[in-house]
Amino acid sequence: MTIKVGINGFGRIGRMVFRAAVQNFPEIEIVGINDLLEPDYLAYMLKYDSVHGRFKGGEIVVDGHTLIVGGKKIRLTAVKDPAELKWGEVGADIVVESTGLFLTKETCQKHIDAGAKKVIQSAPSKDDTPMFVYGVNDKTYAGQAIISNASCTT
């Protein structure tokens, strides 16, 4: 079964999530990316990484507000308010919230209201959103719709 993922924030963490998904997890499909930068710059930053080298997941092409990677089309948006992202239009099962701005249940609920089924925050939450660290407490995950991975560096 394919897991459809949207990424909000295509900085270092958003791009690393993208690379990992495309290069290592064929069951994950990236269906949308939201970032305020220009599409050509997003493509450039994905293609060339000073730490991880060139992207090895296929050719990267920008066509208007679509990023085409290895022949797969990914919707690009540049929206500040997650409530306007229309994740339902692209069928996002999970949104990776990697802007560092939306770190509460209340703010991440906007992604769900916009059509996502679940949200994973890439930074420590600022409220009582449950935090999970793989190998530490990940087995206690009970299907919560909004979670934090505790830190993008752990």
DSSP symbols for the chain: -PEEEEEE--SHHHHHHHHHHHHH-TTEEEEEEE-SS-HHHHHHHHHEETTTEE--SS-EEEETTEEEETTEEEEEE--S-GGGS-HHHHT-SEEEE-SSS--SHHHHHHHHHTT-SEEEESS--SSS--B--TTTTGGG----SEEE-S-TT-
Q: What pLDDT, on the 0 to 100 scale, is given for residue 66?
A: 98
Burial class (CB in 10 A: 0-12, 13-18, 19+), 115: middle
Catalytic residue among 5, 30, 116, 152: 152
Say what the pLDDT of residue 151 is: 78
Tens-level pLDDT at each residue, the chain (154 residues): 899 999 999 999 999 999 999 999 999 999 999 999 999 999 999 999 999 999 998 999 999 999 999 999 999 999 999 999 999 999 999 999 999 999 999 999 999 999 999 999 999 999 999 999 999 999 999 999 999 998 766 5
Task: Tell me which residue of 10, 83, 75, 78 sits closest to 47, measured CA to CA.
Answer: 10
Is residue 152 annotated as a catalytic residue, yes or no?
A: yes
Task: Locate the domains of the chain by residue range.
Answer: 3-148
Report pTM.
Answer: 0.95
Which residues lie closer than 8 Å to 150 by C-beta, 6 or more apart?
124, 131, 132, 133
Q: Which CATH superfamily, name and number, covers 3-148?
A: NAD(P)-binding Rossmann-like Domain (3.40.50.720)
Residue 132: per-residue pLDDT: 94
**What per-residue confidence (pLDDT) applies to 24?**
95
Which among 107, 87, 94, 97 is positioned nearest to 145, based on CA atoms?
94
Note the pLDDT of residue 153.
66
CB 66 within 8 A of CB 43: no
